[in-house]
Chains A and B, each alone.
Chain A
Amino acid sequence: MITLLKNGKLYDPAHNKDGVVEDIYIRNGHIIAKPISAEKINQTFDLTGKVVMAGAIDMHSHIGGGKVNIARMMLPEFQETRGYSEPEAHICTPNCSHNATPNTTDTGFRYIEMGYTAAFEPAIMPINARQAHLEMADTPMIDKGGYAMLGNDDYFLRLLSSGADQKAINDYVAWTLHATQAIGIKVVNPGGISAFKFNQRRLNLDENNVHYQVTPRDILKSLSRAVNELGIAKPLHVHCNNLGAAGNFQTTLDTMGASDGLPMHLTHVQFHSYGTEGDKKFSSAAAQIAEALNKNKHITADVGQILFGQTVTTSGDSMMQHLNARHANPKKSVIMDIECDAGCGVVPFKYRDQNYVNALQWAIGLELFLSVEDPWRIFLTTDHPNGAPFTSYPHLIRLLMDKSFRNEAFAKLNLDAQAMSNLTSLNREYSLYEIAIMTRAGAAKLIGLNNCGHLGAGAQADITVYTDNPDREAMFAKPDYVFKNGELVVKDGKVVKVVWGATHVVKPAFDIAVEVDLKKYFDKYHTIQLDNYKINNNEIHDNGRGKIVTHSKGE
């Protein structure tokens, strides 16, 4: 069974194809080279004039796990009721939502309808990993995976503060990747979530965690080295200290130097690019951050753009979310300390264009996008749902691709904020090729998904087809076709077939002797058995609906 996608204009940065007209052949869920002429073509789609890209990959989106579910539970007012038609009605309930706290069915449907075929949960708390995977198992249509959070857990901090050798750290990091079925490692406010439990309220890069007497820099050095030495593709995913605080750009700049040149990814960097200039002591430091990103080739970043409207911020950063809770809108929040593992903070936010800080946050995100030169090292995210729901990506893409649209939006902002931003002097407009890098080829390369994000032979046939439309928001909101593993699943922006994606993981080798000390620790301090902490493959396979895809570097 061969499907032919004929005459499409391919934007495939992994193969340097920038609008090349070519045919794509699909067999058994994969893209294949042009078959010999004797082979029968079973199905042909004429894509003359259409824009063809690989399925998009969201490398940072809070789609499942404890804090996402707390947000849903706390905010029933976010839900919207609407009736569905087939085939969505099969699994979509009458209560499906379309906002910041979508249920799992909704998450899968809204992603695939925009041509996204994979999303990665960036903050899986190891002790809570089973919940994250249960929720992702109930998320249809897309592939998924996640990054396990380390660096605030007492086990790691005890290792680090007792001067354990790097091998012990590496084994623990690798063991965690296996136990949690994750594809990367994240650190949130390094040392800070733990410090908050000891009543520290802020933690700077070179400040000690009061109990462990280690600094965030020590943690970053140790974890980035572990990730690098284990040979996994995804660099350490770093949510810097001082999230959201005026003047935090200096922490962010300093953090870039904390790994001694080893790769690190700084996430939702918009929330970490704030200066203290001006009457309101809150200003854009996007220029400094972008300049440093341009210079430091070992650093990648995603933006975490904010867009105006109601959303909710869900973060592992209990320390900073406790501070931010005074800005909650509506006025409620959840702050948790969790299992000597980490914590979380869930705070609803309403970003308003007439609010000075919010307007400037919007401008800072766009300044970053437009000032970072290499699209392979900057990624398109809203840190869903923290900056905005992922459903606003088409709007964000238009802001990046359409200068006059962007400047018109800017002109409506709070006037004081306008005076503090150089956005209108940035003339850059992203090309389709650059968008394809940020949302496909670059994201796949970053995470190490060698079979996704491109249109070459051997790739998983996750393909999105758009009608070229000068209104980029309309174009990216509603693809003509989306193919998932070679099957047509979306037509004219609507799901036509329900499918279930795979879970992407890494399983680097490690010394199983790490469990000797872990078991002692669990028996003494934890409240569950070590064996119950580990998620086995069968739990993900879920009676055949799920599938694990294990990646290794350079496969």
Chain B
Amino acid sequence: MKNISLKSNQCIATCPACGLLCDDILLENNQNVIKVMANGCAKSIPFFEQKLNDATPRIAGEPATLAQALARAAQILKQAQQPLFTGLSTDVAGFRAIYNLAQKTSGIHQQNMQHMNAASTARNIRVLQSTGWQTTTLTEVKNRADVIVCIGSDIVSHNPRFFERFVDVDGMFISAKNRQLIVLGESKNNGVIKSDALEAAWILPCRADDLPSVTIALRALVAGKPLKATEVAGIKVSDLQSVADKLKAAKYAVLAWVSKDFDYPHAELTIQNITETVAILNQTTRAAGLALGGSDGDTSANNANTWLSGFALNNDTIEHDCVVWVNSFNAEKLPPNTDKPLIVLGNTNCQFETTPDVFIPTAKPGLDCSGTLFRVDSSVILPLKKLRENNLPTLSEVVSGIEALL
């Protein structure tokens, strides 16, 4: 960020809306209304500019005091045998609080927490727990990556500023014009994202469910195993061979993916094809995997759960008789459809299909209160700022209010 003089109502903030955690967002606050002035994107602008909205807690849709809502939530939790804590969209402090509440109200040896992104996170975790991987982080990509292969999609629908911040810029050891970008998969950029790299990219289109065969073919070619086929899922094997050659000739190749793009059974095997391709490359040159995406505090929740419990968050089916839905960041994410009692803690703008038994609006970390969040590469952890005046309680305050009544 260049030295710019900020007006008294301006500040530079960190954006929790996707896994990149851009911390260069220029904001202006006029009468408690936030406007993104620079470095915004399709995810950050709706986040920062969302309305504060009504902070009144509700019981079965009717306005209630905070004390009444806490009492009702505690009552539901006391009656429940197996509450499920899900959504879990919050920052580290919020997660710690909800983790403690989940432990106190769980049956013995009951895993009762699940993040809203559990399915996509689990695809990566399965690879980590099966073979491990060789990966890198965003600053390394910016400064070293000379060949970048995006597998599954062109990333921008998940991380809008990925190319602007890490690829279309000169790094310490590579200039932007010398990078080669290859996309194996669907191009989802609708023209909104302007990127030199994307414009110059070599795109080998294929459908998501063809990725298992495309990635295994690429893995075989990088390993030096000839293929009898001349085409895989519509892609010429000679083109894949050319991708393999570029990877082998690269000084620092990066193979990036977003596990959310791999929404089909056993998608972990696709990811493993990518990470094992990296492992083969690393026998002779340097290469690294890069898992992108990340949203709704999923990386933070997974890390905090891991140091607190010893385990990564799971994606199992969890039997339950009550649902606690925690959703701080993205109000459009809906709680699971349930006929069980539903407690919602989160964003004032939360939307519902069915009216929750209790809804307690809480402060959004990075907007209504300060906080701490993990970036998608897990290595960088950034503080979030409080940006506007409000009287919303934090998730930790609400949880301790409930705990006091249990």
A residues sitting closer than 8 Å to B (CB atoms) are 64, 66, 68-70, 72-76, 78-79, 81, 83, 91, 93-97, 101-106, 125, 127-128, 130-131, 134-135, 138, 154, 196-199, 211, 322, 328, 331-341, 346, 523, 525-529, 532, 539
Contacts and interface: CB of A to CB of B under 8 A. Distances in A.
Contacts of B352: none
B172 interface: yes
A104 B12 CA distance: 34
A154 B310 contact: no
A341 B136 CA distance: 11
A130 to B, nearest CB: 4
A138 B100 CA distance: 12
A105 B100 CA distance: 12
Contacts of A197: 140, 144, 252, 286
What range describes how many residues of B lie at the interface? Answer: 35 or more
A94 B108 contact: yes
Given A76-B310, A104-B307, 10 more contacts: A74-B128, A74-B129, A196-B286, A198-B251, A199-B286, A332-B128, A346-B132, A525-B142, A529-B23, A532-B383
B340 interface: no
A532 B375 CA distance: 13
B379 A97 contact: no
Interface string B299-318: 00011101111111000000
B107 to A, nearest CB: 9
A340 B140 contact: yes
Nearest to B140: A337
B380 A103 contact: no
- Secondary structure at the B interface, as helix, strand, loop or mixed, is mixed
24 contacts: A66-B378, A66-B379, A68-B307, A75-B129, A76-B312, A83-B108, A93-B308, A94-B103, A101-B310, A102-B310, A103-B307, A105-B308, A125-B379, A135-B307, A199-B286, A322-B134, A334-B128, A335-B132, A336-B379, A337-B288, A339-B140, A523-B1, A528-B23, A529-B1
A526 B142 CA distance: 8
B386 to A, nearest CB: 13
B387 to A, nearest CB: 15
Contact of A134 (B137, B311, B381): B381
A82 B282 CA distance: 41
Contacts of A75: 129
A127 B379 contact: yes
A532 B23 contact: yes
Sorted nearest first, the 3 A-B pairs with minimum C-beta distance are A332-B132, A103-B310, A130-B381
B308 A138 contact: yes
Given A197-B252, A532-B14, A128 B381 contact: yes
Given A95-B311, A134-B381, A528-B23, A334 B172 contact: no
A328 B279 CA distance: 14
Contacts of A334: 128, 132-135
Contacts, number: 173
Given A106-B310, A128-B381, A339-B139, A332 B131 contact: yes
B143 A528 contact: no
A131 B300 CA distance: 10
B341 interface: no
B8 interface: no
Contacts of B251: 198-199
B333 interface: no
A93 B311 CA distance: 11
A138 B308 CA distance: 8
B224 to A, nearest CB: 19
A528 B380 contact: yes
Contacts of A539: 372, 383
B132 A97 contact: no
B171 interface: yes
Interface in B164-188: 165-166, 171-173
Contacts of B311: 72, 76, 79, 95
Nearest to A67: B379
B168 to A, nearest CB: 13
B208 to A, nearest CB: 26
